[in-house]
Chains A and B, each alone.
Chain A
């Protein structure tokens, strides 16, 4: 996630590399090798998910063993506990926190880029410092707080914590996207008599939407994948999908195929969102929001 720290300043227009570098066989091969290295564990997980438990555990690995859907069957209710409540909980917490994050972080980013407040760099740094404390260090106070207000095992409390966790990242991302919105566009709109709300809606939002989409997806992924908060702060009612997934790891029996099937099922929503928003994401994540 080092990409977040790439642009911080006044958004000096970065040179497009397009056309500059000639495609060569070397870079092509390197890209494929890198892609393969990154995708190999996932392919292995898919394969394991489709094997029987005994084949999944065999050593040397039985790559060509017959395929079966038993792992998925075990995940979707084989243990007697349905995975749907945890999946719904994950969805609630993630979507709710993404909405909250956008609602809170967008105005903040606006005030730090388009109409920078005084000492906006200090404010940005302050946001960053909140991420310097390891989450685990804040866990006990948060747990005690949730216990005192009676909000343990409550999915809405979890959504609020996720919001807090993601706001600094969102502010940083949105700030850099908004900085790249050309001044000239806004000035032109102002000259036409548009007010702030109109400029926001008609000028800034369309131009910055890939950035907003990328920010939303990053925050969604962070909330969706969180295990630490969820495991400590939830119980039987508000437990999320990652917590549910850990329940299949057993000290007395085989579990690799079921866990792989479950991990696949739990990652699917994120992959689906990613594929759906692919174009905007690539724009947004490469910080080419406004080109």
Chain B
């Protein structure tokens, strides 16, 4: 009996070992991942293939799952892979998830992904940590790419502290004011092309009183990339800041308090109901369904509101982001590409990046869909293109907003960090999210702005103290 038992145990053990041993490299992703776009390298028509032995190579790309990046997946299988022989596998995840995954991947230099969507928030400190490779050499060699066409404000946000370029913008955005022309005409109102916040608040109040619509929609949803993006532009133009030059937190300074009180009051009095849960998507829906007359948000909202299936297409006026003490207050954001330092296929990765950020790619999108769907905001030539100007009525306001941003000095005082609508330090993800939660409870009315900011000030000063000693 005993003998039999141990034999049985051994057989079981061996079987499991055999099963584990079959664990070679595995999974069913691979080529099938991009919807059957065959990876055959017919480099005959390869205009983007500059001959370095990259045909037949596979690269892995992790990207945020926004519409422009989703278009890119299909276009890559359709155009890029047949032309270059480079197979591209994509992972698309929601913004917060993708950010967590990219941080994990790049901080450990795991080398699973070759390319990731990084923003101007991440690029500077990713660069200083040595997680992404500089692309200056590629830019110098690749004459087809026309780097001089890229908008200077965008490229400036892609540099590390050593002055090298570490990222390539795919789409760029600022913020601006959108309003319903028919509503303004009916009530005899006019939106100045460079409005002040006081003017916008007054317009919102009038519309709120005289129609069923909300006067304005502004983001209240907690999250450093949600509520804090527009709110920080308000803080900047009201004369506030997160930190002064000595890394002393300024969230309870009179200017910051005034700005946040203005923002919270405006939402509570003339904004959307349930504002503490409303982010970009909710405001987009309310604006498109005629529930809100004014919307101050990202310039890339212009695409969906002017799209063919939008019920309000053609009825939207565009003005600059409202100001108070500064000349402009729009934010600066770009989803860009970064190539991981641990990547073994950096040449192929650059070929992909340079194709995705090229003029050629924008034209392919315009051809297949229309110009309002193009990932714009990175190249001057797009704004100068008459076809784009016609297909994207928001182009003029968007161009002015993007080009008038001063990302180093967006407020009235010097500050020790880069960024308009964010504080360009790694700690801001958690600090910003915490602070936005305090402010959301002020928006929901369960606490006062003053109390929320006092709690926020404590959290911010803890982070500031770390930098004081550096």
Contact A238-B27, Cβ < 8 Å, known A196-B8, A231-B97, A247-B94: yes
A28 within 8 A of B: no
CA distance A81 to B36 in the complex (A): 9
**Complex interface: chain B residues within 8 A of A82 (CB):** 32-33, 35-36
Contact A252-B20, Cβ < 8 Å, known A79-B92, A235-B62: no
* Contact between chains at B90 and A81 (CB < 8 Å): yes
B29 within 8 A of A: yes
Min CB–CB distance B117 → chain A (angstroms): 13
Shortest 9 CB-CB contacts between residues of A and residues of B: A156-B23, A238-B27, A237-B29, A236-B89, A80-B74, A80-B73, A237-B27, A235-B112, A85-B28
* Contact between chains at B24 and A156 (CB < 8 Å): yes
**Complex interface: chain A residues within 8 A of B8 (CB):** 107, 196-197, 200
Apart from A96-B19, A100-B20, A250-B66, list 16 A-B contacts with CB within 8 A. A82-B36, A92-B26, A103-B15, A153-B27, A156-B22, A195-B1, A237-B26, A237-B60, A246-B97, A247-B65, A247-B91, A247-B94, A250-B65, A250-B281, A251-B281, A253-B281
26 chain-A/chain-B pairs, Cβ below 8 angstroms = A81-B73, A85-B30, A86-B28, A103-B12, A103-B15, A103-B16, A104-B12, A151-B23, A154-B26, A155-B27, A156-B22, A156-B24, A160-B20, A160-B23, A196-B4, A231-B97, A232-B104, A236-B29, A236-B60, A236-B89, A237-B33, A238-B27, A243-B93, A246-B93, A252-B304, A254-B281
Min CB–CB distance A140 → chain B (angstroms): 9
Number of B interface residues at 8 Å Cβ cutoff, please give it.
Answer: 55
**Complex interface: chain A residues within 8 A of B92 (CB):** 79, 81, 247
CA distance A82 to B91 in the complex (A): 12
**Complex interface: chain B residues within 8 A of A248 (CB):** 65
Residues 167-211 (chain A) with a chain B CB within 8 angstroms: 195-197, 200
Q: Which residue of B is nearest A139, CB measured?
A: B104
Min CB–CB distance A244 → chain B (angstroms): 9
**Interface size range of chain A in the complex:** 35 or more
Q: Which residue of B is nearest A240, CB measured?
A: B27
**Complex interface: chain B residues within 8 A of A152 (CB):** 110, 112
Interface residues of A (CB under 8 A from B): 57, 77, 79-82, 84-86, 88-89, 92, 96, 99-100, 103-104, 106-107, 115, 143-144, 147, 151-157, 159-160, 195-197, 200, 231-232, 234-239, 243, 246-254
Min CB–CB distance B207 → chain A (angstroms): 22
Contact A84-B19, Cβ < 8 Å, known A89-B27, A154-B25: no
**Complex interface: chain A residues within 8 A of B34 (CB):** 80-81
* Contact between chains at B67 and A157 (CB < 8 Å): no
Q: Which residue of A is nearest B98, CB measured?
A: A247
Q: Which residue of B is nearest A159, CB measured?
A: B23
Contact A250-B90, Cβ < 8 Å, known A197-B4, A235-B113: no
